[in-house]
Amino acid sequence: MTSVTDTASSLDQEHHHGPAKGLMRWVLTTNHKDIGSMYLWFSFIMFLTGGAMAMIIRAELFQPGLQIVEPAFFNQMTTMHGLIMVFGAVMPAFVGLANWMIPMMIGAPDMAMPRMNNWSFWILPFAAVMLVSTLFMEGGGPNFGWTFYAPLSTDYSPPSTTFFIFAIHMLGVSSIMGAINIIATILNLRAPGMTMMKMPMFVWTWLITAYLLIAVMPVLAGAVTMMLMDIHFGTSFFNAGGGGDPVLFQHIFWFFGHPEVYIMILPSFGIVSAIIPAFARKPLFGYTSMVYATASIAFLSFIVWAHHMFTVGIPLIGELFFMYATMLIAVPTGVKIFNWVTTMFRGSMTFETPMLFSTAFVVLFTIGGFSGLMLSIAPADFQYHDTYFVVAHFHYVLVPGAIFAIFAACYYWLPKWTGYMYDETLAKVHFWMSFIGMNLTFFPMHFVGLAGMPRRIPDYALQFANFNEMSSIGGFMFGTTQLLFLFIVIKCIRGGAKVEAKPWEGAEGLEWNVPSPAPYHTFTTPPDVK
């Protein structure tokens, strides 16, 4: 019987020397690095696509009374922007990073199921094209928000909704296959001697994320299947007129939707847990507590979904349960924040671009966490619900939380991927422009939200004009800056200063963030920070 290693090496030889040349090399590849690269490029294309839609939204909201697009098209943009950023940009980027790094981190020759890996990637471009193509169909694309609440998405939706449902199904199939592959790889292909509690934090966070994906993607599939039945087959799952319940849709959707936001944040925790120790020149503080905190967050994410639904009229006891369960998530998250800060404490820190993005992540993600804590308070949520305060909250979690972490990972591992060093000066410009643009865009949204400005509306009252102008300027600044990132990456791939085996000076042995063999109390502080 052939061993996994033999199979992988034969696949690798076939990949490099066989008939698969040129374009077909990428179509047929089973190499985890090639597939990781394709995921990352795909996600960046989707990031620019979803970002262009955000630019249309911000242009429309630049000043009140300025109608540069039709309200119906504005609704399509808010819907597609959310769907593309979640399913097209953030999730594939993390899967790409997992493909590239997990086999190398655990000493595996490749992913456990290389051919399934190829398939799970190639489903994505077709799903994305189908999703975007709905915009060009009769009646326009989905116009019911990225949460596609029924009955708006079933009884009053454009004909393209059927294609949207199929695209969501395909995206879900891809995610489930990727997750199965990651679990199989981590559990079966670790190098001898690498026990679970010696795995790098990035591997741990992805293992837990993969279980979340397998648990919740079928729930989303169930929701869109019921939508399909309501639209075409005369059922009334969500139609009150036929004995159904529109609130049922929200329960099913958010049972998927809340763990989904942790799927988009847990891999970030792993990335930051690799970068901060490397640039602080000391081991990650509290490795074991980080593992347990990640698992606790994943478990709690399943019992808080109805905090998205405080305004639907759930019983008081339900509001209390979901309020306290939501607040409880702050505890393991706080453990992680304090561990990162303690790792930095008295370290010999230097601030190369990956560390800049990681420290910005810690600070800004914490702000997003605090506004989330405000939203968890049930009676207060009646005021905040569906205002721009909610938009500010989740963008403070997802832009610094997911996107900054992805940037940090790309800068941190680009030298390893390409053999060349990226342009550090340009990268720092990219960081500061992104940092300023992001805060200028989303911080004012807290204020207009608290003042009562509703979300997903193409026009607004005069008193919100100044803050919206600031948000739009920040949005265009953030958006155009990402073209600089594209330039930096291409410049790095094409060549530059060759890197040594360990590109980050002074971070020896900490790149993979494996717990130090020495007990923590014997770890001495570097002489230059005493």
What positions carry a catalytic annotation?
A: 81, 110, 146, 174-175, 258, 260, 262, 273, 307-308, 333, 336, 455
**Angstrom distances, CA of residue 10 to CA of 2, 23, 78, 122:** 10, 20, 47, 22
Tell me which DSSP letter residue 455 carries.
S
Does residue 496 come out as left (phi exceeding 0), alpha (psi in the -120 to 50 range) or beta? left
Residue with tokens 């990225």: 146
**Angstrom distances, CA of residue 206 to CA of 46, 102, 340, 509:** 22, 9, 18, 22
As a whole number of Å, the CA-based R_g of the chain is 23
Chain centroid to CA 431: 18
- The verdict on whether omega for the bond into residue 151 sits within 30 degrees of 0, i.e. cis, is yes
Structural tokens at position 282: 């000391």
Q: Report yes or no: 167 and 131 within 8 Å, Cβ to Cβ.
A: yes
**Angstrom distances, CA of residue 148 to CA of 75, 79, 189, 310, 472:** 11, 8, 40, 18, 25
**Does residue 189 sit in helix, strand or coil?**
coil
Tell me the residue length of the chain: 530
d(CA 209, CA 90) in angstroms, rounded, equals 13
| C-alpha dihedral (375, 405, 468, 374), degrees to nearest 10 | 10
d(CA 85, CA 113) in angstroms, rounded, equals 27
Give the residue from 67, 96, 49, 27 showing the smallest Cα distance to 406: 96
Structural tokens at position 451: 């003042």
**Does residue 528 sit in helix, strand or coil?**
helix
Structural tokens at position 398: 């997802």
d(CA 159, CA 141) in angstroms, rounded, equals 8
H helical segments located in 329-464: 330-344, 353-376, 378-384, 388-398, 404-418, 424-450
d(CA 91, CA 43) in angstroms, rounded, equals 8
Residue with tokens 């966070």: 205
* Angle of the 330-344 helix axis to the 266-280 helix axis, nearest 10: 20
Tell me which DSSP letter residue 148 carries.
T
Structural tokens at position 473: 């300027």
